[in-house]
């Protein structure tokens, strides 16, 4: 029976870009460090559509129409945008309500502490706690579940993992191959188990998280389109 580390090493070799990409994520440099785009990404991702095929192209369209034209240059600008106009890019109203609410919360942190958008995002993440995520100012926002909460924390510099179905499925398969059983009672317990796996195998939790997404079957589409090139843009 192969050791857990040997199996994860094999998976990691399939996605050699993951470490560099995760460095950028933890440095809050995704989407060229634009916090508005990171929030929009998280809000779109929250409804569970294919990330590379659906979410990324729509975030890029939003970027072209609102960021590149400088109609939106800050968190405050996003909070004041009319949802109906935004829905010309992405129809789901719930996603925009989530994005605008998160932007409003971070903008208040920004103003209260005289920070940049990015520094406000990072400050929020540093003060956030997994165990009390439901009481967090963003965690308790309508429409924000634990996956969106964790995703935002990761983009703001916290080395952790999302407990979504793909991550769980791939890690269960890996654990089973190693002759181990991945046991957890809830999402928080799962996240803690992944942190233990990371410690055992010498990888960061965020690397394990992104590895599972990239090696999952849905990423075959992104490979055909050159997912390495996509990752350098986001």
For residue 125 the two structure tokens come to 């993440």
To the nearest whole number, what is the mean pLDDT of the chain?
93
Q: Is the pLDDT of residue 103 over 50?
A: yes
pLDDT tens, residue by residue, 117-133: 999 999 999 999 999 99
| pLDDT at res. 1 | 47
For residue 91 the two structure tokens come to 């129809």
Domain's final residue, options 102, 137, 156? 156
Q: Does residue 229 share a domain with residue 164? A: yes
Q: How far is CA 214 from CA 87, 105, 173, 194, in A?
A: 29, 31, 15, 17
Q: Does residue 216 share a domain with residue 169? A: yes
CB 199 within 8 A of CB 4: no
Task: Quote the strand ranges of the chain, DSSP E.
Answer: none
Range of the domain at 76: 32-156
Distance separating alpha carbons of residues 193 and 72, to the nearest angstrom: 40
| pLDDT at res. 228 | 67
Q: Does residue 98 share a domain with residue 53? A: yes
In which band, very low, low, confident or very high, does the pLDDT at 215 lie, cut at 50, 70 and 90?
A: confident
For residue 63 the two structure tokens come to 């970027």
Q: Does residue 93 share a domain with residue 58? A: yes
Instruction: Give 207's DSSP letter.
Output: H
The region that residue 32 occupies, defined by phi over 0 for left and psi between -120 and 50 for alpha, beta otherwise, is: left
The region that residue 162 occupies, defined by phi over 0 for left and psi between -120 and 50 for alpha, beta otherwise, is: beta
CA trace torsion 48, 54, 59, 62 (10° rounding): -120
| pLDDT at res. 230 | 77
What mean pLDDT is predicted for residues 196-206?
96
Could you give the number of structural domains in the chain? 2
| pLDDT at res. 232 | 80
For residue 188 the two structure tokens come to 């928080």
pLDDT tens, residue by residue, 41-62: 999 999 999 888 899 999 999 9
């Amino acid at each position: 029976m192969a050791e857990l580390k040997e199996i994860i090493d094999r998976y990691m070799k399939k996605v050699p870009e993951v470490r560099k990409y995760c460095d950028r994520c933890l440095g809050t440099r995704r989407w060229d460090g634009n916090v508005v785009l990171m929030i929009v990404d998280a809000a779109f991702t929250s409804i569970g559509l294919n990330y590379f095929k659906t979410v990324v192209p729509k975030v890029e369209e939003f970027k072209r129409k609102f960021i590149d034209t400088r109609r939106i240059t800050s968190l405050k600008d996003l909070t004041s945008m009319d949802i109906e106009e935004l829905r010309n890019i992405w129809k789901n109203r719930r996603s925009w309500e989530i994005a605008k609410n998160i932007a409003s919360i971070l903008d208040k942190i920004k103003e209260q502490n005289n920070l940049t958008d990015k520094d406000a995002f990072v400050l929020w993440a540093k003060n956030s706690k997994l165990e009390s995520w439901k009481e967090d100012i963003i965690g308790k926002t309508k429409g924000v579940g634990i996956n969106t909460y964790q995703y935002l924390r990761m983009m703001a510099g916290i080395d952790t993992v999302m407990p979504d179905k793909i991550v769980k499925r791939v890690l269960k398969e890996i654990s089973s191959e190693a002759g181990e059983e991945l046991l957890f009672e809830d999402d928080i317990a799962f996240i803690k188990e992944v942190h233990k796996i990371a410690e055992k195998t010498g990888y960061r939790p965020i690397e394990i998280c992104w590895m599972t997404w990239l090696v999952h079957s849905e990423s075959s589409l992104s490979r055909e389109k050159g997912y390495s090139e996509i990752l350098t843009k986001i």
